[in-house]
Amino acid sequence: ILQFSPQKVTDMDKKFLTHEITSINKTRKDYSKTSNAPHFKSSFENVLASLQENEDLENSTNIKVRRQQKWSRPKLPDINPVQDHIIFQQIEVDEYNDLSMRRPIVRLYGVTERGNSVLCHVSGFLPYFYIPAPVGFKDNDVSHFQRSLEQILSAGNKVFRIEIMMKESIWGYHGNQKNPFLKLTFNDSRALSQAKNILCLYLIITGANWIELPAKSYIILAETRKTSNCQLEVEIRHENLISHAPDSEWSKIAPLRILSFDIECAGRKGSFPEASIDPVIQIANTVTIQGENKPFIRNVFTLDTCAPIVATDIIENVNEVDPDVIIGYNIANFDLPYLLDRAHHLKELSFPFLGRIS
């Protein structure tokens, strides 16, 4: 989920041990100094015990296999591009410039109804905007205008096309009268953010709506061509993509994996923790599937060792669960920046790349 190698700084920075639990009881009284100390079961321990009773008891070898099966996404089914449609709920949109083809690409990230992760590369859509045509502007003026525009903007071969189109201005009232406008289409990487926004408007792609890729309209990328760690990566032309309005059957939510986490640092008395000095000693996590009542993962990554915890298993490696959404209290202002700064201090160069692009 979140990992960095802490062995490069203090003696406290040794290794992560994972304890699968619901939460940490921080206020338990210490009876360790008495020989006949009574043991009172807390509600926390009772919850853990009940959770353990609901799981099959297996030997230590099978526990790791079972946990891997439990944490991983569902296996991707066989897909026939000629017969099968691909439908997924998009949860994020970004863009990049394909340098080899000199074209902007919009990426749609999402999850299918089965819970499989998807990355869809949408090509063929170029950024454009409209401006009112000068009075008396004709078709034979287009080529001269395009050359002049590229010269002024120092943007040779960046203007893809200029067209004269009859459109109605949204500024003021014109009695539904249409006037000549110039549609300027660009092949410019600097306009990629505009391409993303315009594409979403053009195809009516709203926040987290469902996207359909009809059979025979997409290409499944081979493992050697994939640029992400998504289970399924495809390419499609923008005119073949279907965007469903979030109504009736398309108002459902995919089984998104929601990671909630919180960190604890080994602070110094009277000082607020500093990433360059104070190690992260604990990262508590829960992962819940959207629509389910309880987390399917409850764990805490601890530094070095900790006291035995009832009904828990210990593993020495960090397993990746590929969350779709990361939440937590104030994580944008403290937890995530602290982890990133701490990893930078430890010279862990791979840690900041938490997204799905490999």
For the stretch 219-272, pLDDT in tens is: 999 999 999 999 999 999 999 999 999 999 999 999 999 999 999 998 888 899
DSSP assigned state of 225: T
pLDDT value of residue 287: 92
Both 134 and 177 in one domain: the answer is yes
The reply to whether 153 falls in a domain is: yes
Amino acid 15: pLDDT: 38
218 and 110: one domain?
yes
Q: What is the pLDDT of residue 22?
A: 33
Give the CATH number, domain containing residue 203. Answer: 2.40.50.730
Q: Which of 187, 220, 236 is the last residue of a domain?
A: 187
Tokens at 292, concatenated? 């389910």
Residue 90 lies in a domain: yes
Does residue 235 sit in the same domain as residue 141? no
User: What's the pLDDT score for residue 2?
Assistant: 39
Whether residue 91 lies inside any domain: the answer is yes
Which residue numbers in the chain have pLDDT < 70?
Answer: 1-69, 153-157, 188-196, 306-319
Q: Which structure tokens are listed for 337? A: 């920046």
DSSP 334: I
pLDDT attached to residue 214? 98
Residues 198, 121, single domain; the answer is yes
8 domain residue, yes or no: no
Both 165 and 147 in a single domain? yes
Q: Are residues 227 and 133 in the same domain?
A: no
Closest by Cα among 72, 67, 122, 112 to 91: 112
Tell me what pLDDT residue 308 has. Answer: 63
Whether 116 and 223 share a structural domain: yes
- What are the φ and ψ backbone dihedral angles of 307, each rounded to 5 degrees? -60, 150
Residues 22, 298: Cα–Cα separation, whole Å: 5
Q: How many domains does the chain have?
A: 2
Q: Is 274 domain-assigned? A: no
Give residue 3's pLDDT: 39
For residues 178 and 99, membership in a common domain is answered with no
Domain endpoint, select from 187, 209, 224: 187
pLDDT at 21 (0 to 100): 35
Evaluate whether residue 115 is within a structural domain. Answer: yes
Please tell me the predicted confidence (pLDDT) of residue 54.
Answer: 53
CA distance 190 to 104: 10
**pLDDT at site 130:** 87
Which domain, by its residues, includes 115?
86-125+194-245
Do 183 and 133 fall within a single domain?
Answer: yes
* 306 located within any domain: no
**Same domain (yes/no): 106, 149:** no
- Residue 182 pairs with which residues in a beta bridge? 131, 164
Residue 327 included in any domain: no
Same structural domain, 174 and 214: no
The answer to whether residues 129 and 184 touch, using CB atoms and an 8 Å cutoff, is yes
- Same domain, yes or no, for 147 and 179? yes
